[in-house]
Amino acid sequence: MRSDPLFYVVAAASFAVLVILMIGIAGFGRGGDFNKKHANKLMRLRIAAQAVAIALILLFVYLRRGG
């Protein structure tokens, strides 16, 4: 599994979702001007990144099963 380059792409996409989510949660926790300016953009970006990650995970599973 680790020899498959798609595994690393899936891991990077999942990590990107995690980073975006943590930035959004931290901004929400602090509140203030940053949250007002960037909260919606960050959550839309997270949803898009999450959709890409899910698609890549499904592709990975499909290809690993012999698709």
The structural domains of the chain, with segments of one domain joined by +, span 1-30, 33-66
Q: What pLDDT was estimated at residue 2?
A: 74
Has residue 1 got a pLDDT over 80?
no
Q: What is the pLDDT confidence band of residue 67, given thresholds at 50, 70 and 90?
A: low
User: In Å, what is the CA distance from 21 to each residue of 35, 44, 52, 62, 63?
Assistant: 13, 10, 15, 27, 28
* b (16+ CB within 10 A) / e for 22-47: eebeebeeeeeeebeeeeeebeebbe
Q: What is the pLDDT confidence band of residue 4, given thresholds at 50, 70 and 90?
A: confident
